[in-house]
Amino acid sequence: MEAKLTRKELLKNWALTYSSETAYNYERLQALGQANAMVPVIRKLYPEDKERQVQELKKYFVFYNTEPSFIGTMIPGVAAAMEEQRANGAEDITDETINSLRTGLMGPIAGIGDTVSQGIVYPILAGIACSLAIDGSYVGPIFFEIAYKICLIGFGWNMYRLGYQKGKSFILTMLREGTIARLTEIFSMVGLMVVGCMTASRVNIEIPMILNIKGVKLGIQEQVIDALMPGLVPLAITMLVYWLVRKKVNINLIILIIFVLGISLSYLGVLGIPK
Amino acid sequence: MLLSAILVAIISTVCNWWPSHLITRSWLYPIWSGFLVALAMGEPMIGMQAAAYINLAYLGWITAGGTMPGNLPVAAVFGTAMTILSGADPSLAVTFAVPFSLFGILTFQLTMSINALWVHRAEKFLDNGNIRAMRLMNYVPSGILNFLVTGVPAFILVYFGAEPMKNLLNMIPDSFVNAMQVVGAIMPALGIAMLISFMGNKKIMPFFFFGFILAVYLKLDVMAVTAVAAIMGFVFYNTGFLDMKPAGKEQS
């Protein structure tokens, strides 16, 4: 008799992968959550054989870490497809085949997933939502929650389905042809343009000093910087911080520097926020 | 106050525990988790604005590969709660949030280390054929742990914190408030810098400046820039533009 996964198990498997970071830990990262997610699949494929269920689930206890919510759902999709083929007698699929594929995919997929979720979706939606909220509109957080979840579920479920339907050969081809690398780079480009735009709009700072040269008042910000390049101050500050990040300076130390410099330069009247 | 304190403790626990990212993924972000705290404390407007200021400071912060450079949900919950308790101007929320984001790094390290124990327990349960217990290991102990390290402190803050917080706020002079606003305005630069160093390489770095110029000179907002970027991305994907190598040079 052929063991076939129905939409029900696939939905359960997909939904449960969202528990990947519940018992998130340094030793094996998302392994336990992945094992938890595979239970409905394995139970369906080996309904009578408890021992076999245990044996099949055990392989998911290896170290596993990817971006689990947006793009990374593809990997359990592929795993479910492979488990299904294996339960139906595809003997060339071993524990090692499944795990080496999962392990091989988790890095590149995390690259795209983190770029899409944290480099594009989050900054755009949060940027809009915060502006609304600061202006006193309750639409802000509610818009964020709804739009974010639409993106999460839209990406997550479709990537899972893609993984399940197209299976490993498709994904291996993508890896080999460099499609994943190309996609990562293109999403990164989009993300960079978004954060470039945000540097101008979100790093909201200027130099409010007014020089008094022989009785003529010269406003540094209005008359010098805005004439040269509006947004020069935010860009310069961002580049400075970027340089520190690139130098691998500890993030907490950078925060400390920002606090110390920000406070002292504010007291000296060098930096201020636009009125 | 008791009810608020209990609700905030639950919010704090859930947004660090992440029982299902179908629900909790967005709870990582201050704009939503801070807003929930605001609702729980009966100050939706001030709390929401505080949450938004906190979130702006952490715009672009990324947590990739099991790292947590600063704990956003902890910053959000405690920062919002403190702003409400002290009756401070919402734009001061960043000041309250940042120290807690550092405290949050500790709680994150703690849970990430201790959670490893449950994986071993789960494995043992599975070996004994107890699949159900294995699955519970994913949820129950990590939930209790997060309640202890992030839920209980949140409860204490909200339940006992009002008076001390108000006193603290009265000690802050106006000039310091201005200075804190400057700090809050610089903070997004750090998030942006982290994102650039995560996504950027020499080849695509110019697009960062392109986005900046579109905003500064053409006054395009973020949706417009995203639309332009998406069209470019589509064209680049089809033409393989970004895959091209400079002539006569080995691409590393």
pLDDT digits (tens, 9 = 90+) for A43-83: 999 999 999 999 999 999 999 999 999 999 999 999 999 99
Q: Give 3-state DSSP helix, strand, coil % of chain B, rounded to 5.
A: 80, 0, 20
Distance in Å from the first CA to the final CA of chain B: 60
**Is A170 near chain B, with CB under 8 Å?**
no
What is the pLDDT of chain A when averaged over all its residues? 92
pLDDT greater at residue B167 or residue A8:
A8
- Residue A219's H or E segment, with its range, is strand A216-219
Three-class SS state of B245: coil
What single letter denotes the amino acid at residue A148?
Y
Residues in chain A: 275
Residue B66: what pLDDT?
Answer: 67
Question: Can you give the C-alpha Rg of chain A in angstroms?
Answer: 25
**Cα–Cα dist A27/A20, whole Å:** 14
A190-215 pLDDT, tens per residue? Answer: 999 999 999 998 898 999 988 888 88
Residue B196: what pLDDT?
Answer: 93
The Cα-based distances of B180 to A235, B87, B172, B189 in angstroms read 20, 16, 11, 15
Nearest chain A Cα distance for residue B81, angstroms? 17
Cβ neighbours of B156 (radius 10 Å): 12
Cβ neighbours of B2 (radius 10 Å): 9
Average pLDDT, integer, range B65-84: 89
**Cα–Cα dist B57/A130, whole Å:** 10
Residue B65 above 70 pLDDT?
no
B62: nearest Cα among B186, B208, B198? B198
Residue B200: what pLDDT?
Answer: 86
Contacts of A34 (CB under 8 A, 6+ apart): A17, A20, A60, A64, A76
Beta bridge partners of A216: A213
Percent pLDDT > 70 in chain B is 96
A113-157 pLDDT, tens per residue? Answer: 999 999 999 999 999 999 999 999 999 999 999 999 999 999 999
**Cα–Cα dist B156/B5, whole Å:** 7
**Cα–Cα dist B78/A75, whole Å:** 36
B167-224 pLDDT, tens per residue? Answer: 888 888 888 888 988 998 899 999 999 999 998 888 899 999 999 999 999 999 999 9
Average pLDDT, integer, range B111-125: 95
Pair of tokens at residue B86: 């002290």
Distance in Å from the first CA to the final CA of chain A: 74
Three-class SS state of A65: coil
Query: Measured between CB atoms, which of B98, B116, B210 is closest to A255?
Result: B98
Q: Cα B51 from chain centroid?
A: 11
**Residue whose entry in the numeric block shows the structure tokens 């995203």:** B226
Nearest CA in chain B to A31: B119
Query: Measured between CB atoms, which of A129, A145, A266 is closest to B178?
Result: A266
Q: Which stretch of B20-24, B199-203, B215-219, B234-238 has the lowest confidence by average pLDDT?
A: B199-203
Residue among A11, A21, A29 with most chain B CBs within 10 A, to mutate: A21
Q: Using a CB-CB distance cutoff of 8 angstroms, which residues of chain B are in contact with residue A48?
A: none
Please answer yes or no on whether B18 and A182 come within 8 Å at the CB atom. no
Average pLDDT, integer, range A97-110: 91
B77: nearest Cα among B59, B57, B61, B93? B93
Residue B246: what pLDDT?
Answer: 65
Residue B252: what pLDDT?
Answer: 45
Residue A61: what pLDDT?
Answer: 96
What is the pLDDT of chain B when averaged over all its residues? 91
Residue A176: what pLDDT?
Answer: 81
Average pLDDT, integer, range B90-109: 89
Residue B146: what pLDDT?
Answer: 97
Nearest chain A Cα distance for residue B8, angstroms? 17
Q: Cα A218 from chain centroid?
A: 45
Contacts of A222 (CB under 8 A, 6+ apart): none
A153: nearest Cα among A20, A10, A14? A14
Residue A101 above 50 pLDDT?
yes
Residue B164: what pLDDT?
Answer: 86
Contacts of A197 (CB under 8 A, 6+ apart): B211, B212, B214, B215, B220, B221, B222, B225
Pair of tokens at residue A213: 């040269």
Residue-wise DSSP of A109-169:
HHHHHHIIIIIIIHHHHHHHHHHHHHTT-THHHHHHHHHHHHHHHHHHHHHHHHHHHHHHH
Average pLDDT, integer, range A100-122: 92
Residue A1: what pLDDT?
Answer: 62
Residue A219: what pLDDT?
Answer: 87
